Amino acid sequence: MTQPVLTVEDVMAWNERTHAEWRKLFTEHPEALAIPCDITGTKNVAELMQHIIAPEIRYAQQLSGLPIADYKDIPYDSVDAIYATHEHAMTLFRELLASDTIDWDAKFEFTTRSFGQARSTRKAVLFHALTHGIRHYAQLTTLVRQHGISHKLPQDYLVMHLEIVNKSLAG
């Protein structure tokens, strides 16, 4: 019997879907970026979005052997700026995944904002970059709802392949 496997393609699709749904919400409600927020020491939702996007681009750059963006230079002043950074990171990840020369189990040194210089496998860094924002988006769901912005975006992995068979049995 084989074990079920969650592939990097599956996780990237989940990441992309989550970001796309939030981008749509922020485009419809740009005022949400100004909502006060203290998650991870931020002052507002825009800063939280920077915190969500920063690991994606910084780890994508490091895995690609590129210079690392300074955290303070990662833009969060508009919906477009935030998601342009996300899209650039996803492009870098796709390029890395298209290469057949990368040993994803090999350890490499990288820089983190929290821990400084660290070492882990390339695979661990990649999956962290792709899943880091999911938990913060869950926190953000509660926050925007508390500020009157209706949010019914399905964020669980389950909905990636969900087919409703009989809604009358729900409950």
The domains of the chain, with CATH numbers, are: 8-169 (1.20.120.450)
pLDDT surpasses 70 at 170: no
Residue 171 is predicted with a pLDDT of 62
Distance separating alpha carbons of residues 77 and 42, to the nearest angstrom = 14
- Quickly state the pLDDT bin for 158 (edges 50, 70, 90): confident
Residue 166 is predicted with a pLDDT of 80
Mean pLDDT to the nearest integer, 139-152: 90
Question: Any idea of the CA torsion for 48, 51, 52, 58, to the nearest 10 degrees?
Answer: 160
29 annotated to a ligand binding site: no
Mean pLDDT to the nearest integer, 8-22: 94
Mean pLDDT to the nearest integer, 74-82: 97
Query: For residue 163, what are its two tokens?
Result: 């087919």
Distance separating alpha carbons of residues 129 and 11, to the nearest angstrom = 10
pLDDT surpasses 80 at 161: no
What is the pLDDT of the chain when averaged over all its residues? 93
How many angstroms separate the Cα of 166 from the Cα of each of 28, 160, 171? 31, 18, 11
86 annotated to a ligand binding site: no
Question: What are residue 4's phi and psi, to 5 degrees?
Answer: -70, 145
51 annotated to a ligand binding site: yes
Q: Of 22, 17, 19, 20, whose CA–CA distance to 33 is shortest?
A: 22
Residue 85 is predicted with a pLDDT of 98
